[in-house]
Amino acid sequence: MVDLTLNGHSRHDFHESDDYGDLHIASAADTPMHDAAFTLNDNEKIEQISEHFAEIMDILGLDLTDDSLQGTPRRVAKMYVQEIFKGLNPANKPAVTTFENKYNYRRLVVERNIPLQSTCEHHFQPIFGVAHVAYIPNGRVVGLSKLNRIVDFFARRPQVQERLTMQIAEELKKVLNTDDVAVYIDAKHMCVQARGVEHHGASTITGEYSGKFLNDNTKNEFLQAIYSKMPG
């Protein structure tokens, strides 16, 4: 039997938290991680996750000697560590260099329709959608692709959409040295579509605005920009 006593939490604790996840409650603005999160390196994590996932498959009754299934535990482990949860590791955080705003551009910079792929931390189901981010330069500007990379880094971890929105906004403020930042996410949660209520097509919208974006005119300019039709 698998021991569910982890980091001081008992089986009872995990059972009692079922309702907590169904209510879609986030426990912290930072991603909840324990003190020993980086004791193991990536290869060690892959080995241990592979072993535990093989146990899960065995409990479900799957035949791990089958050609189609025998490599699944390691594939899942590598996917977790190297792909969909790679944003948990600070070493994967994108290096962002800003540049002097020599042309004195002082209006909105908007990067819209950034593809977003994340994972619901309550049911480990995928989240798919788009993020739109904007800032007003404060003496410095950043390469546009770096905005995409910041979004992707924080998305690549177990998440709650509200927290993800806030984390992206806080990182942009830090990198750009300005409070004039806006983040807007529109995403579909498979934990809503593939389980529970099973409502296909429903999406969740979250927004975070600070600095000049708290002004209705500036906020509306941003919203109009992200919803305007592409030329052609």
Looking at the annotation, which residues are catalytic?
A: 120-123, 161, 189, 191
Is 147 in contact with 114 (CB distance < 8 Å)?
Answer: yes
Torsion angle of C-alpha atoms 85, 86, 89, 94, degrees rounded to 10: -130
Could you tell me the two tokens for 110?
């908007």
Alpha carbon distance 26, 21 (integer Å): 8
Return all residues near 186 (Cβ < 8 A) that are at least 6 apart: 129, 130, 203, 204, 205
Q: Spell out the residues 6+ positions from residue 170 whose beta carbon is closer than 8 angstroms to its own.
A: none
Nearest to 110 by CA among 138, 128, 137: 137
End-to-end CA distance of the chain: 60
* Chain CA centroid to CA 111, Å: 18
DSSP 8-state assignment for residue 7: T
